[in-house]
Structure formats: C-alpha cells, structure tokens
Structure 1
Amino acid sequence: MKQDICTVMVEIDGEMQAVSINLAESPLSQLYRRKGADGKPFLTAEEFVAGERLRADFTRGNLMPRTSANWETGVGGRNRTGANGTAELTDAALASRFRVQKAIDAVGPELSGVLVDVCCFLKGLETVERERLWPVRSAKLLLKAALGALDRHYHQRSGPSKPGSQTIVQWGTEDYRPQIG
C-alpha cells in the first residue's frame, strides 16, 4: 500500500496534539488535497479534521464489524452480555461510541450515511454513489455538507456565520409575546 505520511495537529480531549497520518489511506484525505476550479481546497481544514475526529472515535469505539471468527472465546466459553459485547469494552471505547452517536445525531439522518461510509468505512465517493444509486459527483457535495454540520457540532456552533456576527433570536422587545388566534 502506498504511504504518504505527514504530521498534523489534532484536538484530543480538549488539547492539541501532533499525530502522524497516512494521507493515502483515507478517501477523505485524498479529497482534502484536491483543489477546486478556483485553486482553493475543496474541503476546509476544519471539515477534514472533523471527519478524521469521527473516524478516530469510530475506531476507538470498536465499531467496525468483525470480518473473521472471534477466537477469544470458545464455543462453550463465557457468555457475552450486552449489545455488541459492550460489557467487555473499556470506558474509553464506550465514551468513543457515545461521541460517535452524538455526532451522527447532530448531522442528521440525511447526511450521516455518506459521512460514515467515507470517513469510517473508508469507501470511495464512486462506491458510495454506486451503492446508493446516486448521480455522479453527488456524494462529494453531500459529504461536504455533512462535514460542515459535523464541524459545527464539534465546535458547538449553531450555523454558518461570520466570526463576530450575532444571531437574531427575535424581532420584538424582550417582553413581546405574539397573539395566537
């Protein structure tokens, strides 16, 4: 497998840490390196980091399905309890699963599928489009929208806004109440 190793800064448990990543491994990193027609990157650094953060939690939470037999227990071995063997998971893995679920819920059902397929299962955009019977190049746009929503979730922003701008909550005075009926 081709390797393209680089060091990036990633937020882990509230602090920035340098980590090495293989840019050739993930379809997300390949998309991050592509430039648009205007010469700017298609994905922002924040969107890329949000996708990699989801992938890290997905991996730490042991959410990948098994592709082979479980050799840890015999046929007559101990009995597994909990869904997906959660009784055997560490606190860190359970916390990772919780973070993945919160992120998926924040992105919503319309965008979470393409996000999980590309960021977590490392499927290429063409594969996602073929499996879902989507038009060509549609997965790229939906992934960008999903990554934007994921970045807002991680940084607790309510929506796309410029730094320093304020969101209008209501037009009336503080004691204003609308008339019903």
Structure 2
Amino acid sequence: MREASATARLLRFLLAATDPVRAEADGLVAADGRRHAAAPGVLDEAVRLGLVRRSAAGLAAAPEARAWLKRRLAGGGDAFAGQHRALDDVTLPGGGGRERACVNRLESPLSALARLKEKSGEAWLPGEAIAAGERLHADFMRAGLQPRLTMRWEPRLAGRQKGEAGAAREIADTAVAARLRVARAVAAIGPELSGVALDVCCFMKGLETVERERQWPARSAKLMLRAALMALSRHYAPPPARARAHAWGAEGYRPDASGIGGG
C-alpha cells in the first residue's frame, strides 16, 4: 500500500511536467525547478510496470500512467469504472425547486465541446450555454422521452380502464412538467436549430453523426449547436427585473394627466 502511494506521488509529479524530468542524485528535477524525492526502488518499479519511460532526454510518464493513477485514486472494487469518470456536483432544476446532483462529465454530451478554446484562450462555449444543454438533457430524461433499449413485456392495454386515456394516465406529474419544459425549450430554440440540440444533448449523438444523418457539410453541426445553445441559454435566463418608478409629492400634489386619453 505504501509503495502504491509513493508511485502515485511520482506519477502526479511526472504528469504535471511538460518536459522530460532529470534524474539527479537527490531526486527528480523538472524543467520548471520543481523537485521530487522519489526512492530509486519506486522509480524502478514504475519503469518495470510501464508507467514511466526512460529516454536520453530524461524521464516522462507513459500514456498508461494517467489511467493507472485514476484507478488508484478511485479505490475499492469500482476502480476500473472510476478510471472513466470525472464526477462533479451540479445544480439542476427539479419539480420543487433546484436540486443538487452528481454527474459524470465524461458522459455529458457536451463534455468534449466544453473543453474547446478560442484563440484568445476563452471557452468556445460559454458556461451558460453548457449549463443550458445539460438542463435540456436533464428535463428530457426526467420526462421519460428517451428511446427504450429493452422490450416491454407487459400487455399493451394492461391497466387500462374503459374511458381512460391509456398510457397518459400513468405519467407522473413531474414527467408531465418536464415534457412541458422541453416543449417550451424547443420552441424557444426554433425549428431551424432545435433538431441539432435534441440530437446532441438528448439523444447523445456525436457531431459527425449529426452531419452524416442530416447531410450537412463538415464542422457545420458545431456552429449550429453553438447557436442553438446560446438561444437556449437566453430562454432559461431569468428576465431582468424592471425598475419601478416612484414619485413623491407634497400634500395637495396631483399628477399631470393632460396627455392621457388623447383628449
């Protein structure tokens, strides 16, 4: 256990370095001057496991190092699944207000787009656009609109009574409210852009898949999605509060109403 912890510290040091690290008598030295006192046995074991590579330029973390470190930090029997997670706490709208939830950013349909940067270094998609797409996805899932991946074995008319509306009777109030929110969001985006937003945010399709299915030019879906999410973020944003005008008058004051009524 202690050796694994020492290996994890070594890998974190190497992964943070942008250039190969020099091995000196008293430890490792990065190009920016950072130092790490790694025991020779720990370094040799990391090299033997294929986590660290030696070259003429120095030491560097192998591509497998990051996955090993994620499994190590996840711990427990779910370590392999933890390697493929990037958990984060978010706030989502719920039936009775706002709810806290834990989401895996790597499963988010917008995770790759959220990492894109402009030439200036700013995010290609603003945070409010990413949040709008995730809110649409949450409402879509809460509404039960996602396609079924398994067969339903119960009879088609099971539980239906004479004069009732069938399956609509079984829809929960929260699902109905979520469906209304999805419908309003789609209407706010508009018919020209709502399709790509639903494909990516709700049906989890990649941009290349959207372009192939819709026969769009390459890289056009990314621009269409950005416009759709910006429109969606404006829909979700609360309207600005209107300033109320107040007038104070002394005793006997009467407002001038000569311009009212057009008389």
Shorter-chain TM-score category? 0.7 to 0.9
Structure 2 residue aligned with 1:168: none
2:138 to 42, 51, 56: 56
Structure 1 segments of 4 or more deviating over 6 A?
Answer: none
TM-score (norm 2): 0.54
In structure 2, the residue matched to 1:101 is 183
Q: Which residue in the other structure is 1:66 paired with?
A: 148
Distance between the aligned counterparts of 1:90 and 1:62, measured in 2? Answer: 10
Amino acid at match of 2:160: N
Deviations 1:97-125 (A, max 9, x none): 01000100111100000000000011111
Indicate the percent of aligned positions where both proteins have the same amino acid: 47
Contact 1:55 1:119 in 2 (8 A): yes
Q: Find the partner of 2:234 among 141, 146, 152.
A: 152
Choose between structure 1 and 2 for higher RCO, CA contacts under 8 A separated by at least 6 residues.
1
Please identify, of 103-112 and 1-10, the stretch whose mean Cα deviation from structure 2 is larger. 1-10
Secondary structure, in 3 states, of the residue corresponding to 1:24? Answer: helix
From 200, 203, 206, give the equivalent of 1:124: 206
Equivalent pairs, count:
159
Report matched runs for 1:6-155 at 5 Å.
Answer: 6-12=88-94, 17-71=99-153, 73-74=154-155, 77-79=158-160, 82=165, 85-155=167-237
8 Å CA contact 2:92–2:138 kept in 1: the answer is no
Could you tell me which runs of 5 or more consecutive residues in structure 1 were left unpaired when the two chains were aligned.
159-173, 176-181
Q: Which consecutive residues of structure 2, in runs of 5 or more, have no partner in the other structure? A: 1-80, 241-258
8 Å Cα contact 1:23/1:30 also seen in 2: no
The Cα of 1:17 is off from its aligned counterpart by 4.5
Q: Distance in 2 between matches of 1:91 and 1:9?
A: 21
Scaled by the length of structure 1, the TM-score of the pair is 0.77
SS at match of 1:27: coil
C-alpha contact 2:95 2:174 (8 A) present in aligned 1 = no
Q: Is the 8 A contact 2:116 2:123 kept in 1?
A: yes
SS in 2 for 1:92: helix
Give a deviation string over 1:55-91, Cα, whole Å, max 9, x none.
11000000012222113x23673338648x2211100
CA–CA distance in structure 2, aligned partners of residues 94 and 15 of structure 1: 16
Q: Partners in 2 of 1:17 and 1:88 — Cα distance?
A: 24
Secondary structure, counterpart of 1:87 in structure 2: helix
* Aligned CA-pair RMSD: 2.7
1: CA distance between counterparts of 2:191 and 2:96? 27
**What's the secondary structure of 2:89's corresponding residue?**
strand
